[in-house]
Structure 1
Amino acid sequence: MKNLKKIALAADLTEMDEKLLHFIKGYDSLFDFEELHIIHQIEIEDLSEDLENLLKKKSKTLEELIRDEIESTVIEVFGSLKPSIHIYIQPKPDFSELVNWINNSQFDLFFLGKKKSLDGTGIFSSKMVRLLSCNLILVPETAKPVISKILTPIDFSSYTQRVLEVSELIAKNTKSEFIPLHVLKIGIHYFPFFGNEKKIQKSLQKEADSKFEKLKKKLNIDGNLLSIIAEDDPIGVAIFKKAKELKVDLIIISKKGKSDDSDLLIGSVAENLIANDKNISVAIIK
């Protein structure tokens, strides 16, 4: 992810496309992207009579009509259709084929929009997060293209080093504050000692700080570890609450966590953070 040159976004022909393009335009000043690929999948198999009549009237195919609409939005945001902006339209409602095409295209970063106001809009994003092999960023409709504070949840798994390196890189590029976060969770093996919960918490904190100091030296990164207690909240909820409290612009998380049954798998923490009611941009690192 050192060179975020080839990026893409999923277009759905709603007002979210324009918001995503404005967001990317703002991020471009931070990362200087070289290629932008706008991707849309046609989800209908049979044309309605009204649509067929419209296509006949305009003497265009459905793909051409969609391309015109996307181009119009691009020109409205960027002022022109630059040679570095490419439009790809998947003509069939075959989701697996679309995913294969995206994965084979080897994008450095894939932008997905997230619309809080519409029910069901998180289904597509959730499927893409699970199946795409590239780095992703989920952008809420209310998000602004600025990065002044980054929150990076870590669990000291094999994925931690990668997500810390990416976070440090983005923090340096954007001159933003970088906050590594670890969620302390008292496991069932501490059950007989619950009477001394503060002592257990202090011990877990000390262990986490020690592990992080070793990582700092190994990776040559700055920053101090912030630890919180999840208490009764799921880890993803605890992370989001802390992000809101700290007024974070971007949460960076790895796609997988400690183990197959970890709370840091995409099925729990990441999916919780990208849910429609969450209004902070989330980057998911492969």
Structure 2
Amino acid sequence: MYPIKKVIIGLDLRELDQTMVEFADFLANAPAVEEIYFVNVIKNLYIPKEVLKEFPDMVENAIKERKNEMETKVAEFSKGEKNAKFHFNVLNGKIADSILKFTKERDIDLIVIGRREKANESGALSQRLARRAACSLLIIPEGTSPKMDRILVPSDFSDYSKLALEEAINIAHSNQNATEITIQNVFTVPTGYHYTGKSFEEFTEVMRKNAVKNYKKFISKFDTKDIKIKAVYSQDTNEDVTTDMIDKAHEINANAIIIGAKGRTSTTAFFLGSIAERLIQLDNDIPLMIVRPKGKNAGFLEFLKEL
């Protein structure tokens, strides 16, 4: 897993900014993080040429004013010493497109955006970025405390699950191993189980034992660095594994969920691409990190879905 060195943090100059700046301070003290770029997007800076001739400094002044607002917000809520350097950038255009373009230009490792309590708008932005970004994405609900000492990692034991666990281990290691990681595997009893001659309860145990076996193979490939890691196995009973994940996150009082962008196995009926999108829709109170291999975005077909 690549180290997170460069981070974008979105500011909207509203109440959510306090949460975002507090998380910026949290990330700024992570050992690997070197640069944090606060960005704010002005949706429309188009000014007719005729008007610009009369007022040539209009765009420059608008950008300068917005940048000053950002710096004031960060100064108000930021506290303490920081290892990372802060930058302030005002972008112009559609929010998602502007952030994605900036991400590519600055070789960003992590995009951090906020989720307001009324999340219709911010939820749609999260979906777009999750589908199209060529790096990882962290979604921060409004009012969340910047803390990651109890992390839930949903896992189907795929390569994408491997990336998610690696990121959780890196975070825990940065936190002086004070973080506890819970790996959750959600399994489903297949429809045709009765053809085996076993009862539903018996085949449930077959599936659980299979998950335990796969977990042991999976975890043996990691250097866990003496971090506390616990595995749990959940049976999906309502054909929506995301509800099992969110329930487990609340049960363990998780302050972060980390999931891979994609991955699937037939034994768990688990598709992380759609699961990540579903979590974005349903998870409104726990920070959610969607880990993607850097430089590998969702591809052209997923891009077309946004049009």
Q: TM-score range by the shorter chain?
A: 0.7 to 0.9
Residue pair 2:25, 2:79 contacting (<8 A) in 1 also: no
| 2:270 maps to 1:269 | no
After TM superposition, give the deviation of residue 2 of structure 1 in Å. Answer: 5.3
Q: 1:188 aligns with which of 163, 173, 191?
A: 191
The residue identity in structure 1 corresponding to 2:208 is: Q
The residue identity in structure 1 corresponding to 2:75 is: I
4+ residue runs over 6 A deviation:
none
- Identity percentage of aligned residues: 23
Residue pair 1:108, 1:135 contacting (<8 A) in 2 also: yes
After TM superposition, give the deviation of residue 18 of structure 1 in Å. Answer: 2.4
CA distance in 2, matches of 1:65, 1:26: 27
| 2:134 maps to 1:133 | yes
The residue identity in structure 2 corresponding to 1:72 is: T
After TM superposition, give the deviation of residue 224 of structure 1 in Å. Answer: 3.6
| SS at structure 2 position matched to 1:120 | helix
Could you state the TM-score of these two structures normalised by the residue count of structure 2? 0.79
Map of 1:13 onto structure 2? 13
| SS at structure 1 position matched to 2:152 | strand
Give the unaligned 5+ runs of structure 2: 293-307
Relative to structure 1, is the Cα distance of residues 255 and 44 closer, same or farther in structure 2, using a 3 angstrom cutoff?
same
Map of 1:116 onto structure 2? 117
CA distance in 2, matches of 1:92, 1:160: 34
Map of 1:229 onto structure 2? 235
CA distance in 1, matches of 2:109, 2:184: 25
Give the unaligned 5+ runs of structure 1: none
How big is the alpha-carbon RMSD for the aligned residues of Structure 1 and Structure 2? 3.0
Relative to structure 1, is the Cα distance of residues 252 and 93 closer, same or farther in structure 2, using a 3 angstrom cutoff?
closer
After TM superposition, give the deviation of residue 271 of structure 1 in Å. Answer: 2.1
Map of 2:248 onto structure 1? 242
Q: 2:207 aligns with which of 181, 194, 204?
A: 204
Q: Deviations over 1:25-49 (max 9, x none)?
A: 13434446321101122112567xx
| 2:168 maps to 1:162 | no
Within a 5 Å distance, the mapping from 1:21-36 to structure 2 comes to 21-31=21-31, 33-36=33-36
| SS at structure 2 position matched to 1:223 | strand
Map of 1:84 onto structure 2? 85
| SS at structure 2 position matched to 1:152 | strand
Map of 1:152 onto structure 2? 153
Relative to structure 1, is the Cα distance of residues 137 and 204 closer, same or farther in structure 2, using a 3 angstrom cutoff?
same
| SS at structure 1 position matched to 2:159 | coil
